Amino acid sequence: MTDSPSGRSAALPKAYLPAEFETAIYERWLTADVFAPDGAGSRADPSKPPFTIVQPPPNVTGALHIGHALTADLEDVMIRRARMLRRPTLWLPGLDHASIGAQVVLDKLIAAEGESRASLGRERYLERMNAFVEETRETILRQSRRFGSSLDWSRTRFTMDEVSSKAVRTAFTRLYREDLAYRTEALINWCPGCRTSVSDLEVLPTPESGTLWTIRYHLLDADGRPDPALTISVATTRPETILGDVAVAVHPDDPRYAAVVGRQVLVPFVDRPVPIIADAVVQRDFGTGALKITPAHDPEDHATGSRHGLAPITVMDDDASLNAAAGPYAGLDRYAARQRILADLEAAGDLVEAKPHEMLIGRCQRSNDVIEPRLKTQWFIRTKPLAARALEATRTGQTTILPGRFVKVWEHWLTEIRDWNISRQLWWGHRIPAWYCPDGHVTVSDQVGGPSACEACGRPSAELVQDDDIFDTWFSSGLWPFSTLGWPDETADLRRFYPGTVMETGYDIIFFWVARMMMLGIHFLDEAPFETVYLHGLVRAGSGAKMSKTVGNVVDPLEAIDEIGADALRFALIHGISPGNDQKFSRDKLESARNFGNKLWNAARFVLGARPPSIPADAGRVPPDPDHLGPSERWLRSRMAATVAAVDTAMDDFAFGEATRLLYDMTWSAYCDWGLEFAKVRLSDAGLPETDREATWWALVEVLDGLLRLLHPFLPYLTEAIWAATPHGPDDPELLIVADWPDPEAWSQLADGGSERAVDRVRDLISEVRNARSIAKIVAAERRPGDVLVPPDLAATFAELAPAIGRMARLEPLVAHTERVAFLAAERPGSLAVIAGELEARIAAGAADPAADLAERARLERELADAERHLAAARGRLANEAFTAKAPPAVVEGARTSAAELAEQVARLTLRLRG
């Protein structure tokens, strides 16, 4: 890149090569120390409110994927704009230890080495994990830099570092003391593969074609012996849980079973007499209307069991094999046991029916194992009171969720929330700071070394045993917005940056993470952790499918950066998206984004190379002298003023896809296609005063400068590279990253509706002439004499732009007429007529081409038909009294003018074709 310290008006290399520029520019940002809120190079205004983004810390488990890239880009866009608005910005990098995710990954790694968690043991396993994490950590942080993320590296945090650990201990201890954390035996979701419990959110209901079996239970007679004649049939999809049955339930109002309620049945194979109970939970029309009750292995049965005071019987072990309570089936895996039991029932003649049954099976989000509901003594968080305050925060507007449609699911989830099981039987994570004494007393302590004695009986710490379990990863993630600021200590950062401004993440972790941060943040700090929750959509493969490594349809963001550049990736990910909606990502988008960057680069190259010699190469940027501008420059500045305002608003509204669309149009369609093309003519017009040429150039520089600023959040490297070569103003810093965001108010001074309308009419004329030439198959490069009829109000503008019109429409020489008579008199046979609004042009005849003539005629006919149709519609509306009476006056007025214009156009076209 251009490395001269002043770097003003330097020439840009022919091509922008990401590989050469990106690393160097990132280094310059780092050296300038602009990322931290108080960095030496930061130009933050301390009197302005800080702008803080809470970033979802990526898991330490591996490389970053395209979803991380989108997250990073959106956040970087916001933080860069805030920085340019001179707000002190805090965007803090972090990593999550992801206990279960990390263990799944590491288990696979060590399995390849012939080791396992069991063979290594807790201590060696954790050493191994630390080594692994040390590596991936560096990879991930390096990748974040490749994205261009302007993170405050001085504040990098990890959910397992000392500060976070202290926050976790403190948070849990407080919750315990407030009776918001409790330990109890309850039915939890057990993953036999991961050998841990998981939260409700980590259980994925998966459709499966199973079987519904009908099984006959024998009632006991008065002597307690099975009655061969009297049976009751129950329907089940899980015959292996028969062994844990404690009752058979029927609906209280079911006449079929009224007589048997209260009698006993014998549980097959284990020969346990259990009662027939009546409970409204039973659906009479499902299966046989009789339901077996297995409280230890089914959540609903558990509830039913407790209602009837029935003790659960656990028949399965942690590995999902049947235990001693399963009698003859002890030791068998759950599915092997199922087959054996079915065979045995069949043999006994008690298997009545087996029919296919579509159902949902809970599977582990991580391992895909079928989740087994099991009874375990574990820690839970009482979520209702916490959720109530989170709901209050969104209802009162303390926190806004965007897009708004997510409020509904938010409300629903937090209203129906159940207590949160936070115990995990894993090794990698924060160990639960609870100690148990031999008498069963519990002592919870936030001290690093644990309690000195049992809280209840005073037994010394040596006799206490710490809970083996660790916390659900999301518990420490839930503390992230404030643990990263030093909580529980009253740090300066905490005072200054809590609550944060924006929490940005994918909608898929709204419950896992956002809800937990809200609940815990409000609880511990009495204030919601952020003003706005902005949820983005998921990045999908071009086919619409979820990207997955096994399917092989992933786009690796780092590969994309290597190949096409970080700016292109960033732009591609954001361009055209809308909040909360998924996007399909493809190569095409990347290429389109790269082309846009290339366009901007070349436009800048042109401008820098077109500097009038009268302006010194190192001249500081000054505003153009308005008295020496042509209409096209006034048009360009006016368009830019509108763009600045629109982009600014879009950014405020989190409409980033809209912002890039506006900038794309302004840069390509307005600045390059017209602005530069018009300006070329003026800049090379030796007949113009030097001051005019200078003003024209400064106008180009001015708008380019504004575009670079607006585009910087999206294309940080490219814009920084160009900016280094452009003239700077007296108040400008060395680096664009800390330059001021364009002020819509200031730009609005340049709005010039008159110039816009006038130049737009001229642009129309040029387009129409080009169109006519194209149809007439006139070679593009060929110059033809032309005549134009110019309405009086446009005469001045036209005169100024005439050289450009001549060049752009290839009408040379060009004669302008203000009188129709003169215009008509100048006509020669065979010439081509062009109509563009009230402007008319004529292209001198070349070699006669009847086919082209016919084509042109056909086109005019089409145009006439169109105009007539629109005219009829407009007149119809105006004739409608209801319309003129009820529509707003402005709309009616608009219809009148458009009708008048259309009428004029129809008349002209008719004259042309028929007259």
Residue with smaller CB distance to RNA, 125 or 511: 511
Contacts of 366 (CB under 8 A, 6+ apart): 100, 101, 104, 191, 194, 198, 202
In the complex, what is the shortest distance from the CB of residue 900 to RNA, in angstroms, rounded to a whole number? 9
User: 306 or 452, CB closer to RNA?
Assistant: 306
* Residue 74 · residue 64 · CB < 8 Å: no
**Closest distance between RNA and the C-beta of residue 497, in Å?**
31
User: What residues pair up with 784 in beta bridges, in sequence order?
Assistant: 811
Applying CB under 7 A, the span of 109-117, 547-555, 722-730, 765-773 interacting with RNA comes to 765-773
DSSP state of 431: B
How far apart, in whole angstroms, are the C-alpha atoms of residue 107 and residue 125?
9
Contact region with RNA (CB under 7 A), list: 175-183, 341-349, 441-449, 879-887: 879-887
Q: Which of residues 626-655 bind RNA (CB under 7 A)?
A: 655
901 lies in the site for RNA, by CB under 7 A: yes
Complex with RNA: residue 711 or 775, whichever CB lies closer: 775
- The answer to the question of residue 894 lying near RNA (CB under 7 A) is yes
Report if residue 757 touches RNA, rule: CB under 7 A: no
CB of 210 to RNA, least distance (A): 8
To RNA, the closest distance from the beta carbon of 416 in angstroms equals: 6
Cα 868 to Cα 393: distance, rounded to the nearest angstrom: 57
Per CB under 7 A, 879 contacts RNA? no
Could you tell me the smallest distance in angstroms from the CB atom of residue 237 to RNA? 5
Choose the binding region for RNA from 25-33, 265-273, 346-354, 769-777 (rule: CB under 7 A).
769-777
Query: How many CA atoms lie within 13 Å of 592's alpha carbon, on the beta-carbon side?
Result: 14
Dist. CA 367–CA 205, nearest whole Å: 14
CB of 588 to RNA, least distance (A): 4
Q: Which of 126, 330, 672, 815: binder of RNA (CB under 7 A)?
A: 672
Smallest distance, Å, CB 558 to RNA?
19
Q: Which is nearer to RNA, 79 or 234 (CB)?
A: 234
465-466 β-sheet, strand order = 442-444, 434-436, 465-466
Nearer Cβ to RNA, position 120 or 261? Answer: 261
Nearer to RNA, 110 or 766 (CB): 766
State the minimum distance, in angstroms, from the CB of residue 422 to RNA.
17
Distance of CA 18 to the CA centre of its chain: 25
User: Using CA atoms, how far apart are residues 675 and 727, in angstroms rounded to an integer?
Assistant: 19
In angstroms, what is the minimal distance from the CB of 142 to RNA?
25
Print the binding letters for residues 510-549 with RNA: x by CB under 7 A, - otherwise.
Answer: -x------------------------------x-x-----
The secondary element (H helix, E strand) that includes residue 410 is helix 406-415
Q: Name which of residues 355 to 414 contact RNA (CB under 7 A).
A: 359-360, 405, 408-409, 412-413
Q: Which stretch binds RNA (CB under 7 A): 494-502, 705-713, 763-771, 837-845?
A: 763-771
Interface with RNA includes 780 (CB under 7 A)? yes
Give the residue, chosen from 479, 765, 902, 906, that forms a contact with RNA under the rule CB under 7 A: 902
- Draw the binding track, 156-195, toward RNA (x: CB under 7 A; -: no contact): ----------------------------------------
Cis check for the bond before 192: say yes or no (omega within 30 of 0).
no
Tell me whether strands 500-506 and 530-536 are parallel, antiparallel or unpaired.
parallel
Q: Please, which residue, 152 or 840, has the CB nearer to RNA?
A: 840
Report cis status (omega within 30 of 0) of the bond before 813.
yes
Contact in structure between 583 and 540 (CB atoms under 8 Å): yes
Given the complex with RNA, which of 120 and 204 has the nearer CB atom? 204
Binding of residue 870 to RNA (CB under 7 A): yes
Residues 474 to 513: which contact RNA by CB under 7 A?
A: 508, 511
584-603 positions binding RNA, by CB under 7 A:
584, 586, 588-589, 591-592, 594-595, 597-599, 602-603
From 50-58, 258-266, 270-278, 674-682, give the range in contact with RNA by CB under 7 A. Answer: 674-682
Instruction: Report the C-alpha dihedral over residues 124, 128, 134, 140, rounded to 10 degrees.
Output: -140
Binding mask 792-831 for RNA (x = CB under 7 A): ----------------------------------------
Interaction mask 675-714, RNA, x per CB under 7 A: -xx--x----------------------------------
Which residue's CB is nearer to RNA, number 182 or number 413? 413
Per CB under 7 A, 11 contacts RNA:
no
Can you tell me the distance from the alpha carbon of 108 to that of 125, in angstroms, rounded to the nearest whole number? 13
State yes or no: residue 430 binds RNA (CB under 7 A).
no
Residue among 465, 469, 458 nearest 172 (CA): 469
In this structure, which long-range contacts are made by residues 569-572, counting pairs with CB atoms below 8 Å and at least 24 apart in sequence?
569/69, 569/73, 569/147, 569/593, 570/69, 570/73, 570/76, 570/77, 570/147, 570/148, 570/714, 570/715, 570/716, 571/596, 571/597, 571/660, 571/714, 571/715
Residues 557-586 that bind RNA (CB under 7 A): 576-578, 581-584, 586
Closest distance of CB 564 from RNA, Å: 8
Q: Looking at residue 659, what DSSP letter applies?
A: H
Q: What is the CA radius of gyration of the chain?
A: 37
| 877 near RNA, rule: CB under 7 A | yes
State the DSSP H helix or E strand holding residue 136, giving kind and residue range, or none if neither. helix 117-147
Tell whether residue 658 is a contact of RNA (CB under 7 A): yes
Listed in sequence order, the residues at least 6 apart from 525 whose beta carbon sits closer than 8 Å to its beta carbon are: 482, 487, 498, 499
Count of residues touching RNA (by CB under 7 A):
92
- Using DSSP, state whether 786 is helix, strand or coil: strand
d(CA 878, CA 871): 11
- Identified binder of RNA from the candidate list 340, 770, 875, 912, rule CB under 7 A: 770
Q: What does the per-residue mask of binding to RNA show for 215-244, with x meaning CB under 7 A?
A: -------------------xxxxx------
Q: Decide if residue 904 touches RNA (CB under 7 A).
A: no
Q: Among residues 222, 686, 781, 851, which is the contact residue for RNA, using CB under 7 A?
A: 781
Residue 367 CA to residue 204 CA, distance in Å, equals 11
Enumerate residues 268-327 that contact RNA by CB under 7 A.
281-292, 298-300
Q: Tell me which H or E stretch contains 213.
A: strand 203-220
| Nearer to RNA among residue 609 and residue 813 (C-beta) | 609
Q: How far apart are CA 253 and CA 283, in angstroms?
A: 11
Residue type present at position 600:
L
Buried b (16+ CB within 10 A) or exposed e, 602-615: bbbbbbbebbbeeb
Residues 140, 55: Cα–Cα separation, whole Å: 14
Q: Which is nearer to RNA, 403 or 450 (CB)?
A: 403
Smallest gap from Cβ 722 to RNA, in A, equals 12
CB of 749 to RNA, least distance (A): 22
Regarding beta strands 442-444 and 247-250, do their DSSP bridges make them parallel or antiparallel, or are they unpaired? unpaired
- Ranges assigned E (strand) in 837-898: 839-843
Q: State which residue, 237 or 691, has the beta carbon closest to RNA.
A: 237
Q: Which of residues 17-46 bind RNA (CB under 7 A)?
A: none
